[in-house]
Amino acid sequence: MFRISKDSPVYYLTSVAHNRLPVFRTARLKDLICKALDEARTSANLLIFA
């Protein structure tokens, strides 16, 4: 089980979609963002909880 402590802090990443540009309109842009998040996750050994 994952535990939050001083040695393993947790950061919250949030996004607002209301009244914003529709940047995720195309599948190409969606894939690009997903790949970028996956690369950041694997290179920094991050855990992403959704």
Does any domain span residue 4? no
Number of domains in the chain: 1
Which two tokens mark 50?
A: 């959704």
Query: What does DSSP assign to residue 27?
Result: H
Number of residues in the chain: 50
Domain hosting 31: range is 23-50
Mean pLDDT computed over 19-34: 87
> Is 41:48 a contact under the CB 8 Å cutoff?
yes
Mean pLDDT value across the chain: 84
Residue 22: predicted pLDDT: 83
Spatial distance between the Cα atoms of 40 and 23, rounded to a whole number of angstroms: 20
Does any domain span residue 11? no
Q: Comparing 32 with 15, which gets the higher pLDDT?
A: 32
Spatial distance between the Cα atoms of 38 and 41, rounded to a whole number of angstroms: 5
Does any domain span residue 50? yes
Mean pLDDT computed over 1-17: 77
Residue 28: predicted pLDDT: 93
Nearest to 42 by CA among 13, 5, 19, 34: 34
